[in-house]
Amino acid sequence: MSPRALVVAVLLLPTLSALPAHAAAKVDCAKVKCLALTFDDGPGPSTGALLSTLKKSGAKATFFLMGKHVEQRPTLVKRMAAEGHEIGNHTWSHPSLPTLFDEEITRELRATQEAIEGLIGRAPRMFRPPYGHTDDRVAGLAGEEGMAQVLWTGTTLDWKLRDQKKIRAAVLRLAKRDGVILMHDVVPQTVQVMPALVKDLRKRGYHLVTVSTLLRGRKLTPGETYPI
Ligand code: NI
């Protein structure tokens, strides 16, 4: 190695080792079995523990955040982004959107976009309607705010179950290739069962990825709904 090459190598080394782990391993869901775990209504008091579980296992998730909770726990929002998770909009105060006037829907969505962008430097490109209540008008207004609508393939009803064993069983029953599982990081039992559940899913061959990673490089168009 020439002295010049050596200098280059020495200069490059710290840069390479400083790359975050998630940048190194890009999962291709066309080749491997992927599943997207999604968590709504946070960030809440248990979200930090969930992020630690995900970090330990290298799993990525998608969080649909409520604006008023973003305002209460900004540090957790920054941490989600820094650790490679995806962030979506779940409105400011969790109303049933189809019951609102256009201006009210836009206000709910836009205030949340602004709160998140103010913290992580970019606004979400996806939103999830509270209670899954939606219609073409809601999806259209979200599209005007630059967002696609993301629903799910399986809902655990963890908020109703409130039991680690039952939540674990529900997720394992609902898990399927390219599935999108709905849970809540504001349900303590969901966060508590996650270390075991992540292991279960790994054993079944799942790669736990963000919703965007499921799309294999395709970008959602504002106003469209996924999965249909
Ligand atoms: Ni919700």
Q: Cα(95) to centroid of ligand 1, in Å?
A: 9
Q: Which amino acid is at 199?
A: K
Low-confidence stretches of the chain (pLDDT < 70) are 1-25
What is the C-alpha separation between 171 and 181, in angstroms, rounded? 7
Residues recorded for the chain: 228
CA 211, CA 216: separation in Å to the nearest integer?
A: 10
CA of 64 to the centre of ligand 1 (A): 8
**What are the beta bridge partners of residue 108?**
none
CATH number of 21-226: 3.20.20.370
Beta strands 179-184; 34-40: pairing state: parallel
Residue given tokens 């080749």 in the structure block? 31
Ligand 1 midpoint to CA 213 (Å): 22
Tell me how far the alpha carbon of residue 151 lies from the centroid of ligand 1, in angstroms. Answer: 11
Look up residue 39 and give its two tokens.
């968590």
pLDDT at 48: 98
Is it true that the peptide bond before 227 is cis, omega within 30 degrees of 0? yes
**Dihedral sign of CA atoms 86, 91, 94, 95 in order:** negative
- Which residues are within 5 Å of ligand 1 (an ion), measured at CB? 40-41, 130
179 φ, ψ (degrees, to nearest 5):
-75, 160
Whole-angstrom Cα distance, residue 98 to residue 135? 7
* pTM across the whole model: 0.89
Collapsing DSSP to helix, strand or coil, 65 comes out as: strand
Q: What is the pLDDT of residue 123?
A: 98
The alpha carbon of 179 and the centre of ligand 1 are apart by a number of angstroms equal to 19
What pLDDT is recorded for position 228?
82
Q: Could you tell me the distance, in angstroms and rounded to a whole number, from the CA of residue 197 to the centre of ligand 1?
A: 21
pLDDT of residue 26: 82
Please identify every residue annotated as catalytic.
Answer: 40, 184
Q: Which of 188, 154, 159, 156 has its CA nearest to residue 169?
A: 156
The CA 131 to ligand 1 mean position distance, Å, reads 6
Average pLDDT in the chain: 92
